Amino acid sequence: MAQQFNPRDITWLGFNARVLQEAKDATVPLPLRIRFLGIFSNNLDEFFRVRVAGLKRAMDFKTKVIQESFYEAPSKILQKINKIVIDQQSDFEKTWREVQKEMAKQNVFIKDSKSLSAAQKDFVVKYFDEEIESNMIPILLHENVPMPYMRDKSLYIGVAMRRKEWQYESKFAIIEVPTTTNSRFVILPTENKSEKNVMLLEDVIIYNLPHIFSYFGYDDFEANCFKVTKDAEFDLDNDIKTTLADKIEKGIKSRRKGKPTRFVFDKEMDKALLEFLIRKLNLSKKDSIIPGQKIHNFRHFMDFPDVFKAYEKPVERTSFTHQAFDNKERVTDVIIKKDILLTFPYHTYTPVIDLLRESAMDPDVKSIQLTAYRLASNSKIINALVNAARNGKDVTVMLELRARFDEEANLQWKERLELEGVKVLVGIPNKKIHAKLCVIKKRVNNKTIQYGFVSTGNFNEKTAKIYGDSMLMTANRSIMADINKVFSVLNKPKADPTAILKSCKTLLVCPQFMRDKIIWHIDREIEEAKAGRKAEIIIKVNSLSDKILITKIYQAAEVGVDMKMIVRGIYCAVNQKGFKKKIYAISIVDEYLEHARIMYFYNKGKNDFYLSSADWMSRNLDYRIEAATPILQNDLKKQLKHMLEIQLADNVKARVLDKNIRNEYVKGDEKKLIRSQIEIYHYLKNL
């Protein structure tokens, strides 16, 4: 029987539909509903920039390998995507209308250029004159002049201008809304102090169009917003004389030439202007041309101003210090004595920063090595490492310059770190460095002591407040030995890493070897199930699309292994006929982004656990340096098992992952509602 798989891109759209469900949920606080709308929009933008662009490129290749890598013909997937996206856009707009009704109940209103009071009109004119006009450049469009460069993430106003006495001739112009220099949201003055009026930046500009184009003599304006999403991928040239940093910098500039993958516009836009834009952007029927409502680039609404009635933030949404660090003992001293499991954002990220700060000041510390993928904009991690370098420590940072959409920021970090005397590694050819590792070495009484941490998520104190991740802080000698092996590979980018990575005895590492070890663990559970003994596997990942591992999961289900999956996003597996025990698969979408990767294998009651940086995707397992650490202490194993069981019992925010991606909520005992993120908080708090 042929095995079935769901196309990864279709299942990803299913995940984004779950995000939209949170915006629709009336029990979610209003500011968070708006934020979820912004997240949905931002997710969709990146999806078109990366995945849809990739599908369009794949259509140019007719080989069977290309077709199989997408699980279905790219052209068919694109047709499905367009239909789903249009339906989701309609659902989004309906949700936004409902949210605005709720906003009105709190006396919060979004004003456009036609609904201003006299005082507000004066304010908008003055605000435009003082704050906006110098930051924007109107561009007139001409049939015989090439279209000006359109920025990928920008919002544009398309303007059709006429004279009232002569309506048969139109002039077109575009204006880029300057959201990089001005806030998207302008708070207007109101006579009623209990009422809050917010005006979008584009509407402030639209109100001032007669002033902007006054020298042309036009007095009739139609203005509507649109945006263009472009292919964000870039190829790195193979010039061996060029450094990776130079190649990345060149690649960032090449994004300017990316082909449009989506054109979204206000469906009320002037028809002649719309036709002009489509023609000048060289868009065709096969491109995603999507009519929408008035507001675009909704990602800015993730930072909607705080104008609502204060709602009492649940105590469960407040991070607390791990019990091991409640006393005055140094973080260093605690983790040298025993392993500590941090679970973010329930636990505060402070001990991680404190550990690096202690190491920067400790005269016995000789070196610090750390991998960095996505950093906070004002990174305390980097500040601590810079201080360590200034204090004479040997500091090495593996900085992944190819972290998508963080390339420019990481180039800037590279420059700063090198100026401060930090050794910056930039990876090995054709392999992204995605492992989350840190090793610190100190010398005491002629003895070297090593300690550090391994994480499922980035070393980023900002995202640690909203991403659900796990980190093992440890001084385990075998774990530290393997981390050193990974760094020895990173220090020799031109050498073959295979032999060194294969020699890792404790960490599971990619490429190749992590998958092999996962298969070994699954095979062992399969043998137990065949023998009629208990066999259980729980996998928590962000994405599951690797065909080899999915096939192995199918084999486990066929013989009755108790397979449970918690997958936030992409989920390509499908329950097949003939499974002795069906796979139980759920996705949890709540206020925190579920980001941890955790693997559990029963192993005759020994309970093998791993924290991993890798999703179960071919790109992670074959084309990245990744690392998974075992959990060796029984008390920490019990913690992880209990937290996984809480998530598997969720009947508030968990959705069933089925073949048709219907996103139906898990049904359970209505008298005993289990919202896993709340329950995990209480569990950890009471340890």
**Mutual angle of helices 8-24 and 74-105, in 10-degree steps:** 10
What the block records as the tokens of 387 is 């201080």
| The pLDDT of residue 244 is above 90 | no
* Residue 365 exposed, middle or buried by CB count within 10 Å (0-12, 13-18, 19+): buried
Q: How confident is the model at residue 151 (pLDDT cuts 50, 70, 90)?
A: confident
Q: Which domains does the chain have, with CATH numbers?
A: 1-105 (1.20.58.310), 112-306 (3.30.1840.10), 316-506 (3.30.870.10), 509-685 (3.30.870.10)
- pLDDT (average), residues 311-315: 82
For strand 108-111 and strand 196-200, is the pairing parallel, antiparallel, or unpaired? parallel
Name the pLDDT band for 249 (thresholds 50, 70, 90): low
Percent of the chain with pLDDT over 70: 93
Helix 547-558 × helix 513-530 angle, to 10°: 10
Please give the pLDDT value at position 38.
97
Q: Is residue 454 within 8 Å of residue 627, measured between CB atoms? A: yes
Tell me, what DSSP letter sits at residue 279?
H
E strand segments, 123-195: 138-140, 156-163, 166-176, 185-188
Give per-residue pLDDT as tens, 467-477: 999 999 999 99
Is 182 a residue whose pLDDT tops 50? yes
* Structure-token pair, residue 466: 């909203």
Quick one: pLDDT at residue 229? 87
Mean pLDDT on 118-139: 96
CA distance 73 to 66: 8
pLDDT confidence tier of residue 230, bands split at 50, 70 and 90: confident
Q: Is the pLDDT of residue 673 over 60?
A: yes
Q: pLDDT at residue 639 above 60? A: yes
**Which stretches of 615-675 are DSSP H helices?**
618-623, 634-648
- Before 178, cis peptide (omega within 30)? no
Residue 231 has pLDDT above 50, yes or no: yes
User: What is the reported pLDDT for 63?
Assistant: 53
Q: Which of 256-265, 268-277, 347-356, 422-431 is least confident? A: 256-265
pLDDT digits (tens, 9 = 90+) for 366-407: 999 999 999 999 999 999 999 999 999 999 999 999 888 888
* Integer CA distances (angstroms), 628 to 11, 184, 404, in order: 25, 41, 22
Examine the pLDDT at 232 and tell me if it is beyond 80: no
CA distance 291 to 304: 24
What residue has token string 């936004």?
96
Mean pLDDT of 525-531: 98
Q: Which of 215 and 354 is assigned the larger pLDDT?
A: 354
Q: Taking 80 as the threshold, does the pLDDT of residue 246 lie above it?
A: no
- Assign 314 a pLDDT band (cuts: 50, 70, 90): confident
633 near 660, Cβ under 8 Å?
Answer: no
Dmax (CA) for the chain in angstroms is 92
Q: How confident is the model at residue 197 (pLDDT cuts 50, 70, 90)?
A: very high
Query: 412 burial class (0-12, 13-18, 19+ CB within 10 angstroms)?
Result: exposed
Give the single-character DSSP code of 258.
P
HEC string of 321-355?
CCHHHCCCCCHHHHHHHCCEEEEECCECCHHHHHH
Sign of the dihedral through C-alpha 612, 618, 619, 621: positive
pTM as predicted = 0.92
As a whole number, mean pLDDT of residues 74-89 equals: 90
Q: Which of 8, 17, 74, 146 is nearest to 664 (CA)?
A: 17
- The arithmetic mean of pLDDT across residues 199-205, rounded, is 97
- pLDDT at position 240 is 47
Answer yes or no: 347 catalytic.
no
pLDDT for position 1: 47
Tokens of 284: 């065709």
Torsion of CA 204, 209, 215, 216, to 10 degrees: 160
**In this model, does residue 73 exceed pLDDT 90?**
no
DSSP string, 569-591: S-B---PPTT-SS--EEEEE-SS
Residue (of 330, 122, 113) closest to 222 by Cα position = 113
Which helix (H) or strand (E) segment holds residue 682: the answer is helix 676-685
Candidate list 296, 300, 434, 595, residue with the active-site label: 434
Name which of 484, 441, 464 is nearest 332 in CA terms.
441
Is residue 600 scored above 90 in pLDDT? yes
Q: What is the rounded average pLDDT for all residues in the chain?
A: 91
Cα separation, 423 vs 402, whole angstroms: 18
How far is it, in rounded angstroms, from Cα 413 to Cα 76?
42
**R_g of the chain computed on alpha carbons:** 27
Residue, of 255 and 272, whose pLDDT is higher: 272
Pick the more confident residue, 270 or 328.
Answer: 270
Q: Is the pLDDT of residue 496 over 50?
A: yes
Q: In the predicted model, what is the mean pLDDT of residues 441-470?
A: 97
Q: In this structure, is the dihedral angle defined by the CA atoms of residues 248, 249, 254 and 258, taken in order, positive or negative?
A: positive
- Torsion sign across C-alpha atoms 36, 37, 39, 44: positive
In whole angstroms, give the CA distance from residue 389 to residue 366. Answer: 10
Q: Can you tell me the distance from the alpha carbon of 344 to that of 595, in angstroms, rounded to the nearest whole number?
A: 10
Contacts of 325 (CB under 8 A, 6+ apart): 331, 334, 350, 351, 354
pLDDT at 403: 83
Residue labelled with tokens 């995605």: 434
- Residue 186, pLDDT score: 97
Better-predicted residue by pLDDT, 327 or 359: 359
Per-residue model confidence (pLDDT) at position 424? 96
pLDDT at 291: 87
